């Protein structure tokens, strides 16, 4: 029996121009990577095909990371989109069983990623004659990619079933999916440098049954959620009762009048707004953050702190030279949560049809934009700085850090600058795009490219054409990434560890200069766009 949900989703998504543009860009990107890394030798030593194996490993790593980033984007809005369009209850009241709805939504969200993976088959087949990797390893790698896409999509679909907004489902999905993706990547690299037979046995005999069990469990959870929905009648529950939510909340409870909750969520105002206070900033901080409930915010705090505990122990106490890896985790966390609180600041006003009303008030465009910016920046900065307290404790408890206090002070500066960077880029996307979902997705993709492009290009240059001018140029590109800036700071350890790191000041200072120039241009352009719309709406 045909599944109408699947048919509708496939027609709506796969026939859109965006799908063809994404597939074309994906194939061109992979093709460019293979062409740039193709061995230059006319004769290849088949007994030691190191370059060929490295090329194919890079090929699959790129596909796996791309699948990890795109799979949640396709699935996180599958059910929350129905809730936002007020069609969720009609879907549940149809003749379709919940399992059919989940099956159709899941396959429809998996299909775009699968299409991208299948379109890369001709490119990888060109690499097989180079040697180094057997056909069975390639088949196992593709089977693992499909299994990963299926798991990541179903995790995002589960988040979509529990949340009312796509933004909340998307950020929660990334918080769960990205650690799993990094673990899978580490597993691939570990077995890639060792015995190929062991990797083949792992990805053929262990990964499929484990994945099948996880998929069955997740599918059952989503289906049960649709059998017994607790969020129907959403038209009558647009405003969340905070007192009732506090009574029913499980786990972490947020209270506006207690520390440190009041740092990002001030108490409700019960008096008249004083003169000189920005009403946009006051409204965003006191109302918008709690307008859709605190489940997403509580999950963000709990998951981030739970993941920070092993990272803190491993990188700050057991292996002090690994301290930059903990900073990289903090930067990754901010890359995930920063856009959530800024990417919908202006686009949500458009969706609620209140932007024109806001523009014709006595507030200037600068007051509106700065209020929107500081509200999102304050929340993301406070949440990110929660993860920096272990670094302060480590500086007090680990003797090897006593001589590195200036370095750790610069790490705080780097994290604060990154918080501003993610918030401003996300607010710029919110100004440019009509829908919050599109704004958030573009913000994630833009920030991920800016953060990861430099290290990826540097790794590519060092692996395939080291000690060349092009490799030096690609190394200079790492200055745009805060991850590279964190590892460029000096770190002096005792003679026992012998893992001291010299400073690469051009990378760190170049990164701060890049951020300052880039953000200044974005702010100027954003103010120009907003002011033009302000004039068009009848402002003074």
Close Cβ partners of 219 (under 8 Å, ≥ 6 residues apart): 99, 102, 106, 154
Query: What pLDDT, on the 0 to 100 scale, is given for residue 485?
Result: 92
DSSP per residue over 438-458, as a string?
Answer: HHHHHHHHHHHHHHHHHHHHH
- Segment among 33-42, 363-372, 508-517 with least mean pLDDT: 33-42
Question: Taking 80 as the threshold, does the pLDDT of residue 133 lie above it?
Answer: no
Are the C-beta atoms of residues 332 and 181 closer than 8 Å to each other?
no
Q: What's the rounded Cα separation, in Å, for the pair 320 and 397?
A: 11
Nearest-10 crossing angle of helices 365-386, 405-432 = 140
Query: What pLDDT, on the 0 to 100 scale, is given for residue 228?
Result: 79
Question: Taking 90 as the threshold, does the pLDDT of residue 398 lie above it?
Answer: no
Close Cβ partners of 460 (under 8 Å, ≥ 6 residues apart): 33, 36, 37, 58, 474
Q: Output the CA–CA distances (angstroms, integers) from residue 483 to 27, 70, 391, 499, in the order listed.
A: 27, 22, 17, 19
- CA 102, 108, 114, 116 dihedral sign is negative
- Segment among 63-72, 167-176, 262-271, 344-353 with least mean pLDDT: 262-271
- CA 302, 305, 310, 311 dihedral sign is positive
Q: What's the rounded Cα separation, in Å, for the pair 73 and 443?
A: 12
Secondary structure of residue 501 in the 3-state scheme: strand
* pLDDT band at 57; cut points 50, 70, 90: confident
Q: What's the rounded Cα separation, in Å, for the pair 449 and 380?
A: 20
Gyration radius of the chain's alpha carbons: 25
Q: What's the rounded Cα separation, in Å, for the pair 371 and 378?
A: 11
- CA 237, 238, 241, 246 dihedral sign is positive
* pLDDT band at 496; cut points 50, 70, 90: very low
Q: What's the rounded Cα separation, in Å, for the pair 346 and 350?
A: 7
Whose CA is closest to 372, among 351, 337, 344? 344
Query: What pLDDT, on the 0 to 100 scale, is given for residue 517?
Result: 94
User: Length of the chain in residues, anyone?
Assistant: 540
Q: What's the rounded Cα separation, in Å, for the pair 372 and 341?
A: 9
Whose CA is closest to 324, among 401, 386, 265, 250? 401
Query: What pLDDT, on the 0 to 100 scale, is given for residue 352?
Result: 81
- Residue 212 φ then ψ, to 5°: -60, -45
Instruction: Report yes or no on whether pTM surpasses 0.75.
Output: yes
Q: What's the rounded Cα separation, in Å, for the pair 329 and 331?
A: 5
- Segment among 242-251, 290-299, 374-383 with least mean pLDDT: 242-251
* pLDDT band at 318; cut points 50, 70, 90: confident
Query: What pLDDT, on the 0 to 100 scale, is given for residue 347?
Result: 87
- Residue 491 φ then ψ, to 5°: -145, 115
Are the C-beta atoms of residues 175 and 183 closer than 8 Å to each other?
no
User: pLDDT per residue over 234-267, tens digit each?
Assistant: 444 555 566 666 666 666 777 777 777 777 777 7
Query: What pLDDT, on the 0 to 100 scale, is given for residue 381?
Result: 92
Tell me which long-range contacts 186-193 makes (C-beta under 8 A, separation of at least 24). 188/57, 188/60, 188/61, 188/64, 189/57, 189/61, 192/53, 192/57
Structure tokens at 386: 């929660």
Question: Taking 80 as the threshold, does the pLDDT of residue 391 lie above it?
Answer: yes
276: number of Cβ within 10 Å = 5
């Amino acid at each position: 029996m045909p599944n109408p949900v699947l048919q509708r989703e496939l027609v709506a998504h796969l026939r859109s121009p965006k799908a063809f543009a994404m597939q074309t860009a994906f194939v061109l990107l992979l093709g460019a990577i293979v062409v740039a890394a193709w061995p230059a030798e006319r004769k290849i030593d088949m007994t030691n095909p190191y370059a060929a194996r490295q090329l194919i490993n890079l090929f699959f790593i790129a596909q796996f990371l791309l699948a990890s980033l795109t799979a949640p984007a396709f699935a996180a809005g599958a059910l929350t989109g129905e809730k936002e369009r007020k069609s969720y209850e009609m879907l549940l009241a149809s003749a379709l069983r919940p399992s059919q709805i989940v099956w159709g939504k899941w396959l429809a969200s998996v299909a775009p990623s699968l299409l991208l993976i299948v379109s890369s088959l001709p490119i990888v087949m060109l690499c097989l004659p180079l040697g180094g990797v057997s056909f069975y390893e390639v088949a196992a790698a593709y089977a693992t990619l499909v299994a990963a896409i299926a798991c990541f999509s179903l995790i995002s679909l589960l988040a979509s079933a529990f949340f009312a907004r796509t933004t909340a489902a998307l950020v929660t999905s990334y918080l769960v999916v990205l650690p799993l993706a990094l673990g899978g990547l580490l597993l691939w690299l570990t077995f890639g440098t060792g015995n190929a037979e062991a990797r083949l046995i792992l990805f053929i005999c262990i990964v499929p049954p484990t994945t099948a069990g996880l998929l069955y469990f997740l599918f059952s959870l989503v289906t049960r959620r649709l059998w017994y929905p607790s969020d129907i009648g959403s038209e009558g529950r647009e405003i969340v009762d905070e007192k009732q939510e506090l009574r029913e909340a499980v786990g972490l409870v947020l209270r506006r009048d207690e520390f440190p909750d009041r740092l990002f969520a001030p108490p409700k105002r019960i008096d008249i707004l004083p003169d000189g206070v920005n009403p946009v900033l006051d409204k965003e901080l006191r109302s918008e953050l709690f307008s859709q409930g605190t489940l997403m915010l509580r999950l963000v705090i709990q998951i981030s702190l739970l993941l920070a505990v092993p990272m803190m122990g491993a990188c700050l106490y057991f292996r002090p030279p690994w301290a930059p890896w903990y900073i990289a985790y903090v930067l990754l966390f901010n890359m995930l949560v920063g856009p959530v609180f800024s990417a919908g600041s202006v686009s949500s006003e458009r969706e609620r049809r209140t932007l024109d009303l806001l523009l014709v008030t006595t507030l200037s465009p600068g007051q509106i934009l700065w209020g929107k910016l500081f509200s999102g920046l304050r929340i993301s900065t406070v949440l990110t700085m929660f993860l920096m307290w272990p670094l302060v404790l480590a500086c007090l408890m680990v003797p090897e850090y006593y001589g590195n206090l200036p370095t750790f002070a610069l790490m705080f500066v780097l994290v604060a600058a990154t918080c501003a960077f993610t918030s401003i880029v996300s607010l710029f996307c919110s100004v440019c795009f009509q829908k919050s979902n599109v704004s958030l997705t573009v913000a994630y993709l833009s920030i991920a490219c800016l953060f990861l492009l430099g290290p990826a290009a540097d790794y590519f240059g060092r692996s395939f054409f080291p000690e060349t001018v092009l490799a030096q140029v690609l190394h200079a590109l790492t200055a745009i990434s805060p991850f590279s800036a964190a590892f460029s700071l000096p770190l002096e350890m005792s003679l026992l560890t012998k893992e001291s790191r010299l400073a690469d000041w051009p990378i760190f200072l170049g990164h701060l200069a890049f951020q300052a120039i880039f953000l200044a241009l974005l702010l100027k352009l954003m103010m120009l766009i907003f002011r033009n719309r302000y004039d068009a709406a009848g402002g003074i």
